[in-house]
Amino acid sequence: MPDSQPSGSFSTRPDAGGRRLRRVLLAVFALAVLLVLIAPLSTSDQADALGLPVLVDKSQIRILTTIAMFVVMATAWNLVGGLTGYGAFGNVAFFGLGAYACAVLVDPHKFHLPMLAGIALAPLVPIAFAVFVGLPLLRLRSHYFSIATLGTAVAVGEVVKNVEYLGGANGLFPPIVRRGDLLFLYLMVAAAAIAVGSVYLVLRSRFGYGLIAIRENEDAAAVLGVNTTLYKVAAFALAAGLTGLAGAVFAVWNSFINQELGFSLDFNIQMILMAVVGGAGTLFGPVLGAILLELLLQALAGQGTVAVYAQIGLGLLLAVTVIFVPRGLVDFFGGSSRLSLGYLRRTLRETSV
Amino acid sequence: MALLSLAHVNKRFGGVSALTDVGFQVEQGEILGLIGPNGAGKTTLLNCISGVFPLDGGSIHFAGQRISGLPPHRIARLGIGRTFQVVKPFLSMTVRENAAVGALFGASNLQPRQAFQAADDVLELVGMAAKSGNPVGSLTIPDRKRLEVARALATKPRLLLLDEVMAGLNAVEVDEALDMVRTVHQSGVTIVLIEHVMKVVVGLCQRVVVLNFGQPLAAGTPEEVLRDERVIEAYLGEKYAARVRRAGG
């Protein structure tokens, strides 16, 4: 039956299962928002003052903030890796540049801007960087592009580490914001909303259709009139800006940034893993992946050697996902492609008498 | 004034001269056939016109504007659509979405809502409306070729370059495809087509240009060209040409 909608998302065609999943995701999202809204009444400080029971302690707020941060990064990666089909492997460079830019902007001895101004302006640095390196790098395809982006990210981290103005190996220390847990949770959730909202708009625009056409066949896209270079660089720059925004909030939240934190290879791999496990190319896949994997990582964290095995487990998880569920969990549980549960169920129903 | 005019077009790949001094014109509203033995440079020429390959010499003008040197997307925007001999569909999309991408870009350059309506119109024109919701992966080769034409047509081209859309089709499918090309032509599109199936060349083209070893060998009506000794020689060899000469003389 032809789709009666005049437009729609290309990569997920919801059948009954898809709509159910969408409802579940929306319910989860609504619950998360509710939690964020009631959180002020339930942290220890405020709860003590008002005599209320403590519902969310500070460490849980920290975990929520971290989840929101990875939602931003996985969603931003999805623009390049999922929609455009270019396997970027160095997006952490944008995170680091955003974090350092923000740290410099709010530093009392450097630019001394207000915190919010610093966060708002910081993404311009990774955006400029993405345009500068994107023009040559996006001429490469498949694994050549992946390796080049990884190399670029590592190189930028090493350069930053050796610049005296950026604190060298010691890093930078943005001023500590007292009792800022909730503020940073709100800021990170706002960044996540901006990221998911951007991808939502992209998926419905000519820009998004062009990106998917590039992923599916770049030569065909070009002769149909897609300005492939412009589109690829624009997607790369948008991903850079969003990832840099997460980095900027992280820098002031953490009130410390150095090369190992800003250009962490763990972050680099985790954001890709989250997007791929959740469902690259879909709107909610990276969100789902970020929530599930970050909760898993938090559950395993701080248990000595378990954390080391967790790293190995993540690598295995990536391999298993790419081989068996290449379109991610969102498609597996809610989609209608040949790799989904819905398809399996339908096929079983149709073939059994 | 000619819609498309090529002058002294040269293209080399390393030491191999793929096109040497190719020049001809395409008039508004005609169907021009581009024929020649394998390796003659037909597809290379299409790639040069659509901007996929840069030229090594000469110039190409479209509707009075020089297009040689422009990138493919600029040329598409000016109103030249093309298909690929080896079809290049967007596999994760449906038939309708494939056509809609054409309507979103190229000379039509529509917003998504209008583009999907334009896609429906084009699919109707090429006879694929019934399959518009199908995923491309489920299509047969003739249908994929149809879709290739639909997608190019959705860009609203003034000139359509068709690269062997009939190759690999059986007799019935060729007849269907012939009807499709005629319908497209009647909708006001000038067509240049590469073809090996002579039935198509004779049945469709008002004029034919023959390429051989990257050089224009002959040009004229299909009947003239197919009687031309040099063309017979190029296709079938010197001996056969001599036999035709004896039989004819």
Burial category of A229 from C-beta neighbours within 10 Å (exposed 0-12, middle 13-18, buried 19 and up)? middle
* Buried-state track B154-190, b at ≥16 Cβ within 10 A, e below 16: bbbbbbbbbbbbbbebeeebbebbbebbeebbeeebb
- Cα nearest neighbour of B116 on chain A: A6
Token pair in block for residue A153:
């990210």
Four-way CATH pick for A58-351: 1.25.40, 1.10.10, 1.20.950, 1.10.3470? 1.10.3470
Asked if the Cβ–Cβ distance from B52 to A219 is below 8 Å, we say: yes
Q: Is the pLDDT of residue B102 over 50?
A: yes
pLDDT digits 0-9 by tens, B196-226: 888 889 989 999 999 999 999 999 999 999 8
- Among partner residues A10, A209, A224, which is closest to B106 by beta-carbon distance? A224
pLDDT digits 0-9 by tens, B115-158: 999 999 999 999 999 999 999 988 998 899 999 999 999 999 99
Residues of B in contact with A2 (CB under 8 A): 96, 132-133
CA atoms of A43 and A182, how far apart (whole Å): 9
Q: Is the pLDDT of residue A36 over 70?
A: no
Identify the CATH class of B1-79+158-222. alpha beta
B124 touches chain A (CB under 8 A): no
Asked if the Cβ–Cβ distance from B133 to A225 is below 8 Å, we say: no
List, in order, residues 6 or more apart from B3 with CB less than 8 Å away. B26, B27, B28, B62, B63, B158, B159, B190
B104 touches chain A (CB under 8 A): yes
Residues of B in contact with A7 (CB under 8 A): 112-113, 115-116
Number of other residues whose CB lies within 10 A of the CB of residue A26: 11
pLDDT reported for residue A1: 36
CA atoms of A82 and B109, how far apart (whole Å): 25
Would you give the DSSP letter of residue A337?
A: S
Residue where the block lists tokens 């190992």? A260
CA atoms of A182 and B17, how far apart (whole Å): 69
Q: Is the pLDDT of residue A108 over 70?
A: yes
- N residues, chain A: 353
CA atoms of A192 and A188, how far apart (whole Å): 6
Distance from CA of A161 to the nearest CA of B (A): 41
C-beta of residue B20 within 8 angstroms of C-beta of residue B41:
no
Residues of A in contact with B46 (CB under 8 A): none
Could you give the 3-state DSSP secondary structure of residue A286?
Answer: helix
Q: Is the pLDDT of residue A227 over 60?
A: yes
Asked if the Cβ–Cβ distance from B76 to A225 is below 8 Å, we say: yes
C-beta of residue A270 within 8 angstroms of C-beta of residue A70:
yes
Number of other residues whose CB lies within 10 A of the CB of residue A166: 21
A&B contacts, CB < 8 Å: 96
CA atoms of B191 and B161, how far apart (whole Å): 6
The domain limits of chain A are 58-351
Q: Is the pLDDT of residue A40 over 80?
A: no
Residues of A in contact with B133 (CB under 8 A): 1-3
CA atoms of B114 and B120, how far apart (whole Å): 10
Work out the average pLDDT over A17-25.
74
Distance from CA of A10 to the nearest CA of B (A): 6
A17 compared with B31, residue with greater pLDDT? B31
Distance from CA of A126 to the nearest CA of B (A): 28
List, in order, residues 6 or more apart from A279 with CB less than 8 Å away. A285, A286, A288, A289, A327, A328, A329, A330, A331, A332, A335
